[in-house]
Structure 1
């Protein structure tokens, strides 16, 4: 299946309080311990039993089977029609997408999230490392995108829809974005950060 991703929102100080060599094990235990399910069709939040372990939540994306491929292909589909989108909406969605799964296309498109450069300081194999101070910025981009998301339907259908593979329809594209929005808004509500473990 290729690269997989497990997405967690975490109480940042709790993770950083762990010894540097123990942080990856702490995150892996959170992703694959009490809150984990091997149901490939699982969707939504899984939480540890409070109160002792109430420092993280795990989110399963719908129709992803745990794979990173839908995230990659959502970015690819977005590239196919982003130039046709009204500039204000395009800019906000560029930033939201880039911060979470698009990554690194600033070299070819001239756009990116413009988040403060914060290299990962944790010794862990992560696809996403999003400190708590980045989360409100990402959530703000989503709040600008959400009311206008449906206006992208026809553009996606005409320029980015494909008959097979991952993220083939506007609905699947919108579902992935909405799932990311649930992760971001819950992390913002709690003042937590977001990590995506490579698996």
Structure 2
């Protein structure tokens, strides 16, 4: 089994007002609601589910269309960006660096800080973006999106990985655009975003 990712949009103020010792249970409820129908046979419905749980009405859960819940496509999309970024238009490079660095491309080994939001025992956090960071990501995306198609040819030459998790530009583009759906909806609601490894 590999690493999974569950992406939650949350009212950050409500999460901060939740007693520290109860926050992990709240995140787990938003991830696996007690009242949710068992979707193991059919799989979860892709896109946003709001609220993520009736017990956490100030949350939403995003299910990616093409990743089966695995973190691997996100990791390999980050690797693809590393391979192609030096060949990208400088304006796109700056904007996409800002967008992806906040989500799944980590050009340094630091894990996003939680600043004590969830106390031990807690899962490692793959993505941690309070509302101000989500707003900044939305601005990065607005600059990157009109230029993204220009990455098609260099991606094919420098980052294509036939048979891999992110084998070509179309797969990269699809995953990045799904993250834009996550970020823009969270920003519209004034939410923060967490990516948890389950």
Which of residues 99, 104, 107 is equivalent to 2:102? 99
What's the secondary structure of 2:102's corresponding residue? Answer: helix
- Give matches, 1:159-170, under 5 Å: 159-170=158-169
Query: What's the TM-score, normalizing by structure 2?
Result: 0.87
**TM-fit CA distance, 1:12:** 0.8
Structure 1: give runs of 5+ residues left out of the alignment: 108-116
Q: Which runs of 4+ in 1 moved over 6 A?
A: 49-52
Q: Are positions 1:120 and 2:115 aligned together? A: yes
Query: What's the TM-score, normalizing by structure 1?
Result: 0.87
| Residue 5 (structure 2) aligns with | 5
| Residue 185 (structure 1) aligns with | 184
| Residue 72 (structure 1) aligns with | 75
Which of residues 79, 82, 86 is equivalent to 2:89? 86
Query: Using the alignment, how far apart are the partners of 1:164 and 1:118 within structure 2?
Result: 34
- Cα 1:3–1:154 shift into 2, 3 Å: same
**TM-fit CA distance, 1:74:** 0.3
Query: Using the alignment, how far apart are the partners of 2:108 and 2:145 within structure 1?
Result: 23
| Residue 22 (structure 2) aligns with | 22
- Cα 1:35–1:139 shift into 2, 3 Å: farther
Structure 2: give runs of 5+ residues left out of the alignment: none
What's the secondary structure of 2:131's corresponding residue? Answer: coil
- Give matches, 1:134-153, under 5 Å: 134-153=133-152
What's the secondary structure of 2:126's corresponding residue? Answer: strand
**TM-fit CA distance, 1:52:** 6.7
- Cα 1:47–1:119 shift into 2, 3 Å: closer
